[in-house]
Structure 1
Amino acid sequence: MTDNEKAFVNDAARQLLHAAAHSMDVQHVLDTAHSILKLPIVLNDTFFSKITSSGTEGIEPKDLRRNDDDDVPSRRRWMQSMQKATEPLIDSEGKSPYRVMCYDVRVQNNIELAKLSIYETRPFNSTDSQILKLLASSLACVLYHSDLLKCNSPNQALSDMLRSLINREIKVEELRCSMQYFDIPEESPWEILIMQDIEENTSNYPSIQMYFFNTFGGASIVMENSIVCLLNEPLRNSKLKSLKYFLKCHSMQGGLSRTFYRLEQLRDYYLQAFFVLQRCRMEDEILLLYENCFMEDIIQNCSSARDPISFCRPEILKIWEYDKKYNTQLISTLEIYCQCMCNMAETARVCFLHYNSIKYRLRLIKEISGIDKINSKDLFEFMFSLAVLRQEWGDPADN
Structure 2
Amino acid sequence: MQPSTTDTSTAKQALLEALLSDAGLKNLTQTASTVMGNPVLVVDPVYRYAARGGFELDDADDSPFAAITRAELSEGDMLQDEAVRYIIKCGLDEEIARSTGPLTRYNDMFRLNTMTDAIKVHGTCLGRAMMIERNHAFGDSDREVFEFFVRLLAQELQKGGFLSLGGPQQGPYFLSRLLDDEIPNPITCTRKMQLVGFAPLPALYVVCLLKKDSQLEAREAESIRGQLQPLLHHSLITMYEGELVALVSRPPSTQLPANDEAILARVAATNNLFIGISNEFSQATDVRSHLNQARAAIRYGSTFTKILEDTHVYRYCEYTYMEMLDICNDHINLINYCHPAIWALWKHDQSHDSELVETLFAFMQHSCNTARTAAILSLHKNTLLYRINRIKEITGNDLASGEDLFLFHLSIRTLIYLGFLEPRIKPRTSADLHCRK
TM over 0.5: yes
Counterpart position of 1:219: 237
Q: Is the 8 A contact 1:44 1:116 kept in 2?
A: yes
Residues 226-235 or 305-314, more deviating:
226-235
1:279 is matched with 303
Q: 1:130 to 1:378 in 2, by over 3 A?
A: same
Does the 8 Å contact 1:63/1:98 carry over to 2?
A: no
Q: State the Cα deviation string for residues 21-55 of structure 1 (Å, max 9, x = none).
A: xxxxx8x768866875652312223xxx3232534
1:239 equivalent in structure 2: 260
State the secondary structure of the residue aligned to 1:346: helix
Whole-angstrom CA distance in 2 between matches of 1:255 and 1:276: 12
RMSD value, Cα: 4.5
Which of 258, 263, 276 is the aligned partner of 2:287?
263
- What whole-Å deviation, never above 9, does each CA across 1:338-361 have from its counterpart, x for those lacking one? 112123343344344454443333
Q: What's the CA shift for 1:285?
A: 5.0
Structure 2: which 5+ residue stretches go unaligned?
1-6, 56-64, 70-81, 108-112, 251-255, 425-437
Structure-2 change in CA distance of 1:230 and 1:65 (3 Å): same
- Taking the TM superposition and a 5 Å limit, the aligned residue runs for 1:162-311 are 162=179, 164=180, 170-173=181-184, 177-183=188-194, 188-197=203-212, 200=213, 205-216=217-228, 217=232, 218-221=236-239, 223=241, 227-233=243-249, 236-250=257-271, 252-261=272-281, 262-276=286-300, 278-279=302-303, 287-290=312-315, 293-311=319-337
The equivalent of 2:83 in structure 1 is 61
Q: Paired residue for 1:377?
A: 403
Residue 327 of structure 1 pairs with residue 353 of structure 2: yes
Counterpart of 2:207 in structure 1: which amino acid? I
Of 305-314 and 128-137, deviating more is: 128-137
Q: Deviations over 1:180-212 (max 9, x none)?
A: 312355964112323215xx365x721221122
Consecutive unaligned residues of structure 1, counting only runs of 5 or more, are 21-25, 82-88, 165-169
Q: Is the 8 A contact 2:115 2:131 kept in 1?
A: yes
CA distance in 2, matches of 1:254, 1:139: 33
Larger deviation: 276-285 or 383-392? Answer: 276-285
Cα deviation for residue 275 of structure 1 reads 0.6
Task: Judge conservation of contact 2:8–2:144 (CA < 8 Å) in 1.
Answer: no
Which residue pairs with 2:370 in the alignment?
344
Cα 1:344/1:222, change in 2 over 3 Å: same
Following superposition, the deviation at residue 64 of structure 1 comes to: 8.3
CA distance in 1 between partners of 2:423 and 2:207 (Å): 36
Alignment map for 1:25-104 (pairs within 5 Å): 39-45=39-45, 49-53=46-50, 54=52, 55=55, 58=68, 61=83, 65=87, 69=91, 75-78=96-99, 81=100, 90-91=102-103, 97-104=113-120
Task: Give TM-score scaled by structure 2 length.
Answer: 0.64
Distance in 2 between the 1:256 and 1:332 partners?
Answer: 27
Asked if 1:316 corresponds to 2:334, the answer is no
Aligned to 2:433: none
Aligned length in residues? 358
User: What is the deviation of 1:258?
Assistant: 3.1
Aligned mates of 1:156, 1:2 — CA distance in 2: 31
